[in-house]
Structure 1
Amino acid sequence: MKIAIIGTRGIPNHYGGFEQITEQLATGLVERGHSVTVYNSHNHPNVAKSWKGVSIQHCYDPEHMLGTAGQFVYDLNCIRHARKNNFDVWLFMGYTSSSVWHSFFPKNSIIVSNMDGMEWKRTKYAKTVQRFLKYAEKLAVKHSHFHIADSPAIKDYLDKKYSVNAKFIPYGAVLPAASEEETLRQYNLAKDDYFLLIARMEPENNVEMILDGFSASNCKKNFLVIGKTENKFGKRLVGKYGSDNRIKFLGAIFDQETVHALRANAQLYFHGHSVGGTNPSLLEAMASGSLIAAHDNIFNKAVLGNDAFYFDCAACVKALLEKTVCTETKKTFTRNNTEKIRQQYSWDKIIDAYENYFFECCQSAKNESYVSSKRWACK
């Protein structure tokens, strides 16, 4: 197949979850013999025209000048360029700034949208923005031939609200090799001598709830926070907890070996995400063998089941931090979560699922005339 992936800042990953799955998916599909083009922002540090066999198309992205409005311009530029090529499948990663350009979607390609989470639930957005996101979600469902949900809860929502049959395909994770001692020395840390949180500084990730619980606790160990703090909410958090010398804001760290080592050696890893589907950072924590405390919601429970501690308030966080965890409990939780990565969330399985679904989409398009007549490359 000839596949275009649109809707990310580009690969290799220097930003977040959609970039990470695009990196893995694009290279995996190329290894399986497909032609894949990923659309990159012209601001991406990788300026090459290809990466690990993936064709890279850079498009002008004015986000650095226009803010959020620039994302709409960038997506339009990607779509207009992709129209000039004879792609079998267009895979949109998200819909926030792309679905409004549906009139530019080609009539001779299959449009597949990874629908992300319920973006309109994010509390960082004003009511007017939340209403727009609901509208953008509706457009994405209507003007895509097929839909992917990365969580059973998201699939259930889409199927019931829009009467579609979304395909559940989660994110994946890698079981990393241990290379931890140098990282611990670099950060002057010891195994099980600190707590850890990795997240974007956004209200729905419950960073403040977690740090409130820690601040109120009698813990002597440090609490490491990884994530950019340059936005308004992040700056407020740094100001609020600046007087607590146990809390260390480390900023964003993109080196995966470093992040793995920090996860693997934390006494307890906190995952506060409450909006969205299968979260990549949660899977990575599971793969690292972290003992996990997660926000109590349907998305996290669908992944972790009984193999984690849960919290929904600062007092719950405080209680968890002051709790003595049985060694056998930790071994059971981490062993079970590692096995889930191996059996359910390995990248090979995820890439296979995407490839098979694209073939199914091609077959349905031929049988049901979703797109204009065409000599399909996919059989």
Structure 2
Amino acid sequence: MKIAILGTRGIPNHYGGFEQFAEFFAVYLAEKGHEVYCYNSHDHKFQEKTFHGVHIIHQYDPEYKLGTFGQFIYDYNCIRDARKRNFDIILQLGYTSNSIWFFLLPKKPIIITNMDGIEWKRSKYNKAVQQFLKFAERLAAMSSDYLVSDSLGIQKFLERRYGKKSTYIAYGAYPFSNPDPSILTEYGVEAGGYNMIMARFEPENNFQLVLDGVVESGETTPILVVGNHQTKYGAYLKNRYAQYPYIRFMGGIYNLSHLNNLRYHCNLYFHGHSVGGTNPSLLEAMASQALIAAHDNDFNKGVLQENAFFFSTPKEVVHILKTAKKSDTLHFIKNNYEAIVTQFNWSKINGEYLQLFEACMAKGKP
């Protein structure tokens, strides 16, 4: 098959969950003998034309000048280029800024869209943007040939709201079991002597809720705050907690070996995501054998089941910090690791996507 992947900033991953999936899945497809193309922003750090057998197509992305609006132009450029290439399948990852161009998508390829989370519920968006995202979600749901949901909750939502069936395929992670504590010296911490939270700097990821709990607890154990904080919200948080030296803003860390070791050796890993489906960083924390404290919502509970501590207020964060002991909860870690091995491993996830592609090719466009 000749396959295109649209909707990310490109591979190898230097940004987030969809980029991580695109990197692993594109390479997997190429290894299986398929002709794979991944669209990258023109200013992506990787400027070669191929990546482990995957063809890279750079397209102009003015996000660096125009902010979020630039993504609409980038997606337009990608879709316009895709019209020239005679693909069999186009996989769209998300819909936020590409759905308005649905009428420009080439007619021959099968269009498969991973619908991501319920984007219009994100608190960072004002009412007008939320209304647009509802509109974009409907466009993507109704114009795609086939849909993918990354959680059972999203699958039910799409069927209830749009009457559209979707295939449930979660994200994946690679099991991690070869820790190297020497890596910790680069970050000024010792095994078991720090906590951690990692996410994009957005309000719905509950950095403030967790860090307020850390402050209220009176605990001075370092907490590593991982993510690109060069944003307006990041500046707000850094200013809010400037007087607490044990709250350490580390910036984005994209070296997977380093991240795995940081998660493995931390005392508590806080996962604050409250919107979306199966979150990649949560799966990676499970795969890294971290003890997890997660925001109390259906998406997180659907993945973790009962194998984590859950919080929804700063006081609950305080309680977790004062009472949680890793030695008493090894069964949480073991159960989560087993879930990665049996349910959420990348080999299984990649295989499920490939099976979907083959089934869609056999059925053709609906």
Say yes or no: TM over 0.5. Answer: yes
Aligned partners of 1:224, 1:48: CA distance in 2, in Å? 33
| CA distances 1:83-102 after superposition (whole Å, capped 9, x unpaired) | 10111100000001101001
| CA distances 1:197-239 after superposition (whole Å, capped 9, x unpaired) | 0011111001100000000002131111011111111111000
Residue 106 of structure 2: aligned partner: 106
Residue 341 of structure 2: aligned partner: 342
Aligned partners of 1:348, 1:257: CA distance in 2, in Å? 19
Q: CA deviation at 1:30?
A: 1.1
In 2, are the aligned partners of 1:117 and 1:277 still within 8 Å (CA)? Answer: yes
| CA distances 1:149-200 after superposition (whole Å, capped 9, x unpaired) | 1011000100111111111001110113424222122222111111100011
Residue 152 of structure 2: aligned partner: 152
In 2, are the aligned partners of 1:220 and 1:246 still within 8 Å (CA)? Answer: yes
Residue 301 of structure 1: aligned partner: 301
Matches within 5 A, 1:321-340: 321-325=321-325, 327-329=327-329, 331-340=330-339
Structure 2 gap segments, 5+ residues each: none
Amino acid of the residue matched to residue 272 of structure 2? G
| CA distances 1:319-342 after superposition (whole Å, capped 9, x unpaired) | 10011426242x101111111000
In 1, are the aligned partners of 2:172 and 2:346 still within 8 Å (CA)? Answer: yes
Residue 2 of structure 1: aligned partner: 2
Aligned partners of 1:199, 1:104: CA distance in 2, in Å? 34
Aligned partners of 2:33, 2:205: CA distance in 1, in Å? 38
Aligned partners of 2:157, 2:21: CA distance in 1, in Å? 22
Aligned partners of 2:89, 2:263: CA distance in 1, in Å? 37
Aligned partners of 1:3, 1:327: CA distance in 2, in Å? 47
Residue 25 of structure 1: aligned partner: 25
In 1, are the aligned partners of 2:181 and 2:191 still within 8 Å (CA)? Answer: no
Residue 67 of structure 2: aligned partner: 67
Residue 377 of structure 1: aligned partner: none
Matches within 5 A, 1:198-277: 198-277=198-277
Structure 2 residue matching 1:322: 3-state secondary structure: helix
Answer with 171-180 or 38-47: which moved more: 171-180
Aligned partners of 2:3, 2:113: CA distance in 1, in Å? 13
Amino acid of the residue matched to residue 9 of structure 1? R
In 1, are the aligned partners of 2:176 and 2:289 still within 8 Å (CA)? Answer: no
Amino acid of the residue matched to residue 360 of structure 1? A
Residue 43 of structure 1: aligned partner: 43
Structure 1 residue matching 2:323: 3-state secondary structure: coil
Structure 1 residue matching 2:19: 3-state secondary structure: helix
In 2, are the aligned partners of 1:218 and 1:322 still within 8 Å (CA)? Answer: no
Amino acid of the residue matched to residue 29 of structure 2? L
Structure 2 residue matching 1:338: 3-state secondary structure: helix
The TM-score normalised by the length of structure 1 is 0.95
Q: CA deviation at 1:52?
A: 0.1
Aligned partners of 1:326, 1:55: CA distance in 2, in Å? 45
Residue 352 of structure 1: aligned partner: 351
Q: CA deviation at 1:34?
A: 1.1
CA RMSD of superposed structures (Å): 1.0
Aligned partners of 2:345, 2:188: CA distance in 1, in Å? 32
Q: CA deviation at 1:67?
A: 1.1
Percent of pairs with identical residues: 48
Matches within 5 A, 1:37-186: 37-186=37-186
In 1, are the aligned partners of 2:197 and 2:226 still within 8 Å (CA)? Answer: yes
Structure 2 residue matching 1:55: 3-state secondary structure: strand
The verdict on how the C-alpha distance between 1:243 and 1:76 changes in structure 2, with shifts beyond 3 A counting, is same
In 2, are the aligned partners of 1:214 and 1:318 still within 8 Å (CA)? Answer: yes
Structure 2 residue matching 1:47: 3-state secondary structure: coil
| CA distances 1:278-306 after superposition (whole Å, capped 9, x unpaired) | 00000000000000000000100010001
Answer with 242-251 or 296-305: which moved more: 242-251
Aligned partners of 2:243, 2:287: CA distance in 1, in Å? 34
Structure 1 residue matching 2:56: 3-state secondary structure: strand
Matches within 5 A, 1:274-289: 274-289=274-289
Amino acid of the residue matched to residue 292 of structure 1? I
Structure 1 gap segments, 5+ residues each: 371-379
Aligned partners of 1:131, 1:20: CA distance in 2, in Å? 29
Aligned partners of 1:186, 1:359: CA distance in 2, in Å? 45
In 2, are the aligned partners of 1:87 and 1:109 still within 8 Å (CA)? Answer: yes
